[in-house]
Structure 1
Amino acid sequence: MNARTASGPPAARHGWVGALATVLGTLVAMGVVAAPGLWAAGATDLPGNSFPRVLAATLVTAVGGSVKLSGDAGELAGAEGGLTVIPLSVTLAGALVAGRGFLRPLRHRAVAGAPELAGWAARIAVLWLLAVLGLALAARHTYELSLGEGPLGDLGDLFGIRPVVGFSTDVVPTVLIGLVWLAGVLLVALMVSRGAPLPAGLLRLQTSLRPAAYAMLLLLLAAVGIGLVIALVVAATRGHPAGTFAVILLGLPNVVWPALTIGLGATWDGRVEGPFGLPMPHVLDEVLRTPDVSALDLGTLTEHDGGKWWLLLVVSAVLLCAAAFVMAARSPARVRAWRHAVHMAVALALTVLMICLMARISARIGLSVLGIGELGEGLSGQVLLRPRLWGALGLALLWGLAAGFAGAFLARAVRRTEGAGAER
């Protein structure tokens, strides 16, 4: 066997051309999801032919960047605000394509050296940096606001007030966060894939990290799949299909992943005011549209909309046990049940941490004229959604331990049944 056969495909298989294809494929996948989502949300009606800029801003936020809202009208009026929300449908599409592109040249390999993996990742990172830099520079635009009819409109005409509101991104933080996002995606891709090569010193992780990582990916994708079915039923039976498809294409995981944690007993705090709102389901908007910050959990959902929300507990438990079984089934038979439980607990806690960090929402815009305060709900508002982090992580550890034991015993029973059938 020669050296080339032993090491697998030559390095050119994952050179600059492959890196460029991976980056372009990731951007195209994100754009294909984001563009129709923004269209369904009505972004094409924004003035000034700003749709490409809004699309760029959406892609920036999908990789962790934030958008600043600002504006003024000289010394007589001012506007301020900010938007921190990750359109996780777009993020998920990009992550799946980026991970696939990273792993593709490495398939059918048993072992890969650390320098080789680092070099391949570095090529992708360099091109990704340039792509994110271009998006951050393009994600900026300004709009002129109308004060409407009535006293405010008269004041505007009298003093020549033309409030201007715009959005932009901090370029340097956006590029750095985009690189961190890419590193996380590539690392998760290596951990999830059973066939991707690892450096020889890390092969022992095959039996601990990879089954748990794969089970968590399956858990998240299954939750999105269930949410997609429910959303399509809602679009077909309750009207407003454009708004529902906007949620599907931009933020379906923003709804279903926090719902998964709520089903496990976690609590999220939030508030909704002004013209903004949480699009789906409507009960979330009702629970959180209060004068102060409100708690969002199984109890408050049940108070507002009946006992059907306890189904979240059942669905979350079933999905978790299924993920634990998959983890145990992909692990060697020699691994003990308590190790399965520990692996599941740690993996679930990390997954819930990711959900809590990525699904939080903070959006606010306010406009004042002549220093007399905000102009009312038509031009100002706020949306806030944040988890009670430590409680969610503690519950994840407990659920992970219980599900890990259950999955281990179920996998062992299946192996025994298959073994008995083979002996016959």
Structure 2
Amino acid sequence: MRAVRDWGDALLAVVAGLVAMVVVAALGLWAAGGAGLPGSAFPHLVAALVVMAAGGTVELAGDAGVIAESQAELTALPLSVSLVGALVTAWLFLRPLRHRAVAGTGELLARFGRLAVLWLLGLAGLAALARYRFDIPLGEDSIVSDIGELLDASPQAGFAADTGLTLLFGLLWLIGVIAVALLVSRKAPLPARLVRFQESVRPAAFAMVALLLAYVVLGLCAGLVVAATQGHAGRTFSVILLGLPNLVWLAFTLGLGASWDGRVDGPFGLPMPRVLDEVLRTPEGATVNLSTLAERDGRVWWLLVIAAVLVVGAAFLMAVRSPARMPPWRHAVHMAVALALTVLVLCLLVRVTARYGLSLIGIGEVAGLGGEVALSPRPWSAVGLALAWGLVAGFLGALLATRVRRRGEVPAS
């Protein structure tokens, strides 16, 4: 009976996590106008979004017969979908363990193994669904359209999930989610030999997760205000449901002083604030940081203020959850390491590359059907800034926490 119950717990976590991701992806795509996609493309694209959100690989492809060639590339994560799936899956994985103080290594590995098997089966099914091809309209009155009709060569585009890479990266995604969940939760049991590390690791991990979620909540509030006051509600909700963490975590790194390199070329673009789009639409590319953004809108300096308040708040939270005997300099070191690792992970998650081009032999690139969107960090300078911020904020947070009764502190009689 226990084995059946354990498999049932794993099945519930996988099904609930994937269903949550599918619902969020479908609502976001619908808000973006996905209901008007040709044929039955909608469910296939929803599956592709979920595969990408779980770390999988979706390859773009194009074909225009013998007279043309197309190139396509996409590297991006719909982090709203990823975040919802991670929260639901992690919570249901930890729920059966919440009343345990210690768990054996073998038991935790067995629980994760059952979860991983079912997770990979679910991803494999979504990867099989995540493939579709459709025609690209060229317009009625153009030389390209006339040549295409003459040679019966209409351009097509499509996408298909790479099942092997999807399963590999999907497994790594699941490992990361469960590892973070075990590090963050006070109620999650650890093997006996790892218990001695929880006092130094768990408060810092919890503070980082709380910091990232605080940015998401602030971004959600701002998005709802924009949707209610500035119109374009559908587009705003599509950004919230598909890429809100992408924007707010980018804003977090910019608030710390980090720089990103990028460009937007062609009719396509990212669902981004106007000021960021203006900076990126330069012929030779652009550097995105507080200075370049402030040249167009001085309000972006508030990102620095928000980062300072939230990072110090996270350091205070870490200190409150740490043992009272820990000296301030150790808080500073723990905060610096945790913040640097967090920023490094964000640099890997938030980067975007998207390119598409259609060229016709003898004519060149077809106008209006090519473009490039790129946004990549300067990771090591961002990590260095995070280390500095963490040292200062960790020390300040420890000093502020001295006025609060903390775990392990015995009040004077």
Q: TM-score with structure 2 length normalisation?
A: 0.96
Partner residue in 2 for 1:157: 149
User: Distance between the aligned counterparts of 1:33 and 1:51, measured in 2?
Assistant: 14
Structure 1 segments, 4+ long, off by >4 Å, are 10-14
Structure 2 counterpart SS, 1:15: helix
When the two chains are superposed, the root-mean-square deviation of aligned CA atoms in Å is: 1.6
1:72-151 to 2 correspondences below 5 Å: 72-148=63-139, 149-151=141-143
8 A Cα contact 1:66 1:83, kept in partner: no
Q: Name the CA shift for 1:13/1:117 in 2 (closer, same or farther; >3 Å).
A: farther
Partner residue in 2 for 1:227: 219
Partner residue in 2 for 1:358: 349
Q: Deviations over 1:22-76 (max 9, x none)?
A: 0000001111211110001111211011101000000011012232211212211
8 A Cα contact 2:81 2:242, kept in partner: yes
Partner residue in 1 for 2:231: 239
Partner residue in 2 for 1:321: 312
Structure 1 counterpart SS, 2:320: helix
User: Distance between the aligned counterparts of 1:26 and 1:392, measured in 2?
Assistant: 32
User: Distance between the aligned counterparts of 1:202 and 1:293, measured in 2?
Assistant: 48
Partner residue in 1 for 2:330: 339
Q: Deviations over 1:356-392 (max 9, x none)?
A: 101110111111122532112x211111011000000
8 A Cα contact 1:77 1:371, kept in partner: no
Identity of aligned residues (%): 60
User: Unaligned stretches of 5+ in structure 2?
Assistant: none
Counterpart of 2:197 in structure 1: which amino acid?
A: L
Q: Name the CA shift for 1:186/1:13 in 2 (closer, same or farther; >3 Å).
A: farther
**Does residue 176 of the first structure (1) align with residue 193 of the second (2)?**
no
User: Distance between the aligned counterparts of 2:372 and 2:34, measured in 1?
Assistant: 19
Q: CA deviation at 1:163?
A: 1.0
Q: Which shows bigger deviation, 117-126 or 336-345?
A: 336-345
Q: Name the CA shift for 1:371/1:118 in 2 (closer, same or farther; >3 Å).
A: farther
Aligned residues: 410
Match of 1:388 among 378, 386, 393: 378
8 A Cα contact 1:267 1:297, kept in partner: yes
User: Distance between the aligned counterparts of 2:386 and 2:309, measured in 1?
Assistant: 14
**Does residue 52 of the first structure (1) align with residue 43 of the second (2)?**
yes
Q: Name the CA shift for 1:11/1:412 in 2 (closer, same or farther; >3 Å).
A: farther
Partner residue in 1 for 2:242: 250
1:180-329 to 2 correspondences below 5 Å: 180-305=172-297, 307-329=298-320
Q: CA deviation at 1:169?
A: 1.9
Q: CA deviation at 1:283?
A: 1.2
Counterpart of 1:110 in structure 2: which amino acid?
A: A
Q: Deviations over 1:229-277 (max 9, x none)?
A: 1111111111100000000000000000010010000001111011211
Q: Deviations over 1:132-175 (max 9, x none)?
A: 11111211100111221221112212222211111112211111
8 A Cα contact 1:53 1:138, kept in partner: yes
User: Unaligned stretches of 5+ in structure 1?
Assistant: 1-9
Structure 1 counterpart SS, 2:405: helix
8 A Cα contact 1:267 1:388, kept in partner: yes
8 A Cα contact 1:57 1:135, kept in partner: yes
Q: CA deviation at 1:280?
A: 2.6
Partner residue in 2 for 1:3: none
Q: CA deviation at 1:11?
A: 4.8
Partner residue in 1 for 2:10: 19
User: Distance between the aligned counterparts of 2:285 and 2:92, measured in 1?
Assistant: 43
Structure 2 counterpart SS, 1:379: coil
Q: TM-score with structure 1 length normalisation?
A: 0.94
Q: Which shows bigger deviation, 144-153 or 292-301?
A: 144-153
8 A Cα contact 1:278 1:284, kept in partner: no
Structure 1 counterpart SS, 2:365: coil
Q: Which shows bigger deviation, 192-201 or 273-282?
A: 273-282
Q: Deviations over 1:89-108 (max 9, x none)?
A: 00000000111011011111
Q: CA deviation at 1:423?
A: 6.4
Q: Which shows bigger deviation, 163-172 or 209-218?
A: 163-172
8 A Cα contact 1:71 1:165, kept in partner: yes
User: Distance between the aligned counterparts of 1:273 and 1:48, measured in 2?
Assistant: 29
User: Distance between the aligned counterparts of 1:14 and 1:296, measured in 2?
Assistant: 51
Match of 2:390 among 400, 410, 416: 400
Q: CA deviation at 1:401?
A: 0.6
Partner residue in 2 for 1:38: 29
User: Distance between the aligned counterparts of 1:327 and 1:65, measured in 2?
Assistant: 33
Q: CA deviation at 1:278?
A: 2.1
Q: Name the CA shift for 1:188/1:14 in 2 (closer, same or farther; >3 Å).
A: farther
Q: CA deviation at 1:14?
A: 5.5
8 A Cα contact 2:66 2:153, kept in partner: no
Counterpart of 1:74 in structure 2: which amino acid?
A: G
User: Distance between the aligned counterparts of 2:372 and 2:145, measured in 1?
Assistant: 23
Partner residue in 1 for 2:60: 69
Structure 1 counterpart SS, 2:374: strand
Counterpart of 1:48 in structure 2: which amino acid?
A: G
Match of 1:414 among 404, 407, 410: 404
Structure 2 counterpart SS, 1:208: helix
User: Distance between the aligned counterparts of 1:167 and 1:278, measured in 2?
Assistant: 19
**Does residue 372 of the first structure (1) align with residue 363 of the second (2)?**
yes
User: Distance between the aligned counterparts of 2:280 and 2:248, measured in 1?
Assistant: 17
Q: Name the CA shift for 1:46/1:413 in 2 (closer, same or farther; >3 Å).
A: same
Counterpart of 1:219 in structure 2: which amino acid?
A: L
